[in-house]
Amino acid sequence: MNDYLKLLAQRSRTDAPEMSSEVTEALAQLDQELATLTAQLEVEHYGPAVGLDGASEAYRLVVRCHEWQPNRPTWSLKVCDATPNCQWRATWTVQGVGRRRRARILQALPAFLSDYVQVLAAANKTERPAAQRIQEMARILSAPAAPVGHQDR
């Protein structure tokens, strides 16, 4: 269950994360799990910027009730347009972005989840099982790399 998180953690620690179908699948698993957990918690979080080049603040990772499908609002993590007139419109899933933005998302994930844990604490939701799972996810993504020869087998 945590294998995909370990892969994301490993790839998030590099300046130029390698993009592969494994990373895309791991991001899809993260997306699916967070959709389930955030629906149980219903706590918004406006995370780090994941824009590119001169527009680094143009997009952010956001948890909220998005209308991803017409007339079907659902809680989830999406990459949202952060410009004031767009009202946090969901633009992409985390696995559906291009390679360069995917690398940016990978590098932002540890801070995103750690910050979301703080937001959940402020909302007095940390005792809920969904919040505890998000805390575990944040720990895995933020854990230091294992020394060579000491990886989990």
Give domain status of residue 92, yes or no.
yes
Give domain status of residue 148, yes or no.
no
Give domain status of residue 150, yes or no.
no
Give domain status of residue 20, yes or no.
yes
Give domain status of residue 44, yes or no.
yes
Give domain status of residue 99, yes or no.
yes
Give domain status of residue 83, yes or no.
yes
Q: Write out pLDDT tens, residues 17-46.
A: 677 899 999 999 999 999 999 999 999 999
Share of the chain above pLDDT 70, in %: 93
Burial class (CB in 10 A: 0-12, 13-18, 19+), 129: exposed
Helices (H) and strands (E) in the chain, counts: 4, 4
* Residue 53 pLDDT > 60: yes
What average pLDDT does the segment 77-88 reach?
91
* Residue 152 pLDDT > 80: no
Share of the chain above pLDDT 90, in %: 71
Q: Considering its fold, how many domains does the chain have in total? A: 1
pLDDT at 84 (0 to 100): 83
Give domain status of residue 34, yes or no.
yes
